[in-house]
Structure 1
């Protein structure tokens, strides 16, 4: 499966060696001469995938800087820091064990733009025909210092008072789903003076549960937070670009609140623009309005959020899936950054994380997938646009319609015959009522 962020698939059933060679060759030609930074999220297929990628890059004449097992944001950070020609994070994010992926970065340490992706794909057929001579091959060097540098710069962020966090002596329940977070998150929290209780922090690369950090996958983790009387739970996905928090009561803080509280934390200190995607909570708008700041929305996807952030010079951004993008360090979702922000926020708030949740704007998001069979999703969304064209609509990524008491976002899937429908309202009952209304409306158009 090819997307703007790279290529992913099931190892042994789509993501095979010949496919990896083909796309890595095209990517090498796209990057041209120079170093390529690589890192992986530690899943068990990572070594096989990495060896193929490294061999292909060397054959293309590129030097490889191998960070080892590390978060995806560490790869982004090092591409920028080291002035590399590009970077590949070997990670299928929240997908299960059998999946893996190549997340492809440009020379800015950002996910490739749609234009860059199109240019790379145009090279696919020719790239596998040309490799360097024996005396022109690239070289590999291991660079574990890249992770250390990333952590050090996270701790040096201007808004973070490490000593103040240490004085709070937070008791943190940490769940890294046995992924790349296991190699850095315990040390980061201990450096911040936290008493860390680790679950799923074994360096095995075998996920003990479904790795997407959503409430239905975190029932045992939430129980552990409460049973251990922890101040909060910190959960990251396998490649540590998404941060999900659990309150001291063993309840979800809400992944939408990960970005909302980060926006509040940053805007309290500095006025500026905010960027989130079209499927992110309205709470961000409420908070920005409170501080006299403006929110801009982008199409879904980290690359789209970053593009908009640069256009409007946003000082904070992200996605409601638990992704915080703080350009003071780099343009990428980063759970290390999100973690130090929440701890500093709690220090300044002076209360518990459940108390912080209580003072956040309260909304509920409900999501639904609508099967459309052989119907054209673009035609269905066009009919919805015609239906609601007199309202406050955004058609940059499907259709988002804003009403006074709720909003709804319709998006087609590029991989399945479905339309995704997301609705948000003040209460769960209202959100479910609206999602049912729009579900039935789309079903009528399908039938």
Structure 2
């Protein structure tokens, strides 16, 4: 298995593909890419993240950079910190939803967002050339430790102009939260307590030991679902290890659906900003059509981008979108910062629930209904580009989008096949009005492509 390098950063298995040499090489290249200056560093709680942080910080100091070490924090916290400061860039040490043996580096530009494809290309060229020099002894950078950005992040969430803090507090929500002992272990319960919630914590020790598979999918959240039922909680909340994704569980202990994190966010944003003359939304090509139905109700425009946070953000900036995100549980609200943010998603679901007045399961029933099927195909020994070419030929009479893999649209359904940015796999995602129809689309595609 090789090191995975993409616009989402660098990821690999510790001691195998992600080695001290690779960490120094990419960190040094990033310092040169940023022309030195001030660089913020944050990390998740994986048991090897602190070790990597020391290598990253040391390398940046050797490159003459001023380093601001935020310590343990979510990815959206360091994004917000960089965006709203005079920093020249940021490095987040995390492998996001990948298993425990993985880790990685996410690189942020001075705007607090991931590198654009053009910036990424320039950065990789520097890394490949190895053409960067360490500072002389009297030009070594300085280190500042600042762990106050968690509180600043919470304050920005509470100041979202359409969040009615007192109204939310008056509901006294009972919430079960599962932070998988990751970077959200401190900040997520703190935010919920600020909202006046009674918080029942699961896996919030922040020790980096994942008690279940880290991706917040229904099959990995059985403990959360059971605890919600047993405690009579109003809802359950789960975030991934770096807390940029959030999913919900209803009071019945049933998944709200990761795709519906962004759907509910779009709904409340459009409701609160319905007087705007132009309302634009951006989601990626793999996100549910339920967003389109919500947007239609409010006379809003939906734009789609390739999968990947930076692709969504670039299109959001280009269209001046009021909200956006990805169907994996990521919500991007420019009012706070340009990055997927679990805390934003949490604030918006609470506001939705106080406005709706009923239970979260009832609220889910009020949203447009679609069923989605997601599969992963290991591409070891397979040429993924050939598979995509065959898919285009197979569905050439249908509406096809090739911006990111191949997406085929039908009258009331679609299917998307693409190479993952973060894992050595092909992703196949289909959606239709019924689960059976969505499954049949995947079966047909796999059969025709001999997958």
Give the TM-score range, shorter chain.
over 0.9
Give the CA deviation at 1:226.
0.6
Residue of 27, 30, 42 corresponding to 2:30? 27
Deviation at 1:47, TM superposition (A): 0.9
1:134 is aligned to 137
Deviation of the 1:112 alpha carbon: 0.5
Which residue number corresponds to residue 262 of structure 1? 265
C-alpha contact (below 8 Å) 1:374/1:417 kept by paired residues: no
Distance 1:371 1:149, change over 3 A: closer
**5 Å matches for 1:264-279?**
264-271=267-274, 272-279=279-286
Instruction: State the TM-score, normalized to the length of structure 2.
Output: 0.95
Q: Which residue of 1 aligns with 2:6?
A: 3
Instruction: Find the aligned partners of 2:100 and 2:383 in 1 and give their Cα distance.
Output: 33
Partners of 1:438 and 1:329 in 2: CA distance: 40
Change in 2 beyond 3 A, CA 1:191/1:374 = closer
Moved over 4 A (4+): 125-129, 370-375, 413-418
**How many residue pairs get matched?**
444
2:187 maps to 184
Displacement, 1:36? 0.4
Other structure's SS at 2:59 match: helix
RMSD over aligned Cα, in angstroms?
1.6
Matches within 5 A, 1:8-407: 8-127=11-130, 130-271=133-274, 272-370=279-377, 376-407=383-414
Q: Report the CA distance between 1:12 and its aligned residue.
A: 1.1
Question: Normalized against structure 1, the TM-score is what?
Answer: 0.96
1:436 aligns to 2:448 (yes or no): no
Q: Which runs of 5+ in 1 are unaligned?
A: none
Which string of whole-angstrom CA distances, capped at 9 and with x for unpartnered residues, describes residues 63-106 of structure 1? 11111101100000011111210001111101122111100011
Give the distance between the partners of 2:178 and 2:57, measured in 1 at CA.
30
Using the TM superposition, name which of 310-319 and 387-396 deviates more: 387-396
Pair 1:380–1:146, CA change in 2 (3 A): same
Deviation per CA, 1:157-203: give whole Å up to 9, x if none: 10111111100000000110001111211111111100000010112
Indicate conservation of the 8 Å contact 2:308/2:421, yes or no. Answer: no
- Structure 2: gaps spanning 5 or more residues: none
Instruction: State how far apart, in whole Å, the 2-side matches of 1:242 and 1:262 are.
Output: 13
Counterparts of 2:263 and 2:421, CA distance in 1: 28
How far 1:419 moved relative to its partner?
3.8
Deviations 1:367-412, CA, capped at 9 Å, x for gaps: 2344677554323323332343343221111111111121111213
Separation in 1, partners of 2:234, 2:426: 39
